[in-house]
Amino acid sequence: MTYSTDDMKDFLYQHIPLAEAMQVNIESYDGQHLLLSAPLACNHNDKGTAFAGSISSLATVSGWIALMLWTKDHYDGEFQVAVAHADIHYKKPILTDFTARATLPNGDALARLHKTVSHRGRGRAQVHIEVLDEYGVAVTQVAEYAVWRVVA
């Protein structure tokens, strides 16, 4: 399914109000990769670099929305996604506006997730996320997300 960036942004702001305060924009989603951006102007710390809380929030939200969109593409019904565990590594300060690029698992892992969720109603997926500024990758995060079907 194809989603407009405006539709995805509305969905994001509706479900994660912090994203609106951070002025997060959805740049692209191709079914495998999701790219979010955020301006440094409202996400900086006392040093003038990106605030670590904003960086980790953008990274975590990028994985969340990528999996939410994936569930909408592959299932009928309502699903929830929540981060279960995340390891984040700050390699260098972020000095400019920044982006988070979430990469969903490979095809085999997504096929296993699809099968598990179809049979058990829940599963887990690992998402790799890079946070970049104009100077390159500054932060990496590997996060495990829980995915489950909402039972009415």
Instruction: Give the per-residue pLDDT at 22.
Output: 98
- Beta-carbon contacts of residue 9 (< 8 Å; ≥ 6 apart): 24, 25, 26
Domain span at residue 17?
5-149
66-94 confidence digits (pLDDT tens) = 999 999 999 988 999 999 999 999 999 99
Q: What CATH number is associated with residue 48?
A: 3.10.129.10
Q: In whole numbers, what is the pLDDT of the chain averaged over residues? A: 95
One-letter amino acid for residue 147 of the chain: V
Look at the block and give the residue holding tokens 């191709």: 30
pLDDT of residue 15 exceeding 80: yes
pLDDT of residue 113 exceeding 80: yes
61-70 confidence digits (pLDDT tens) = 999 999 999 9
pLDDT band at 17 (very low <50, low <70, confident <90, very high): very high
Which residue, 75, 72, 59, 70, is CA-closest to 24? 59
Please count the structural domains in the chain.
1
Euclidean distance between CA atoms 96 and 87, whole angstroms: 23
Structure tokens at 29: 């989603």
DSSP state letters, 68-82: HHHHHHH-SS-EEEE
122-144 confidence digits (pLDDT tens) = 999 999 999 999 999 999 999 99
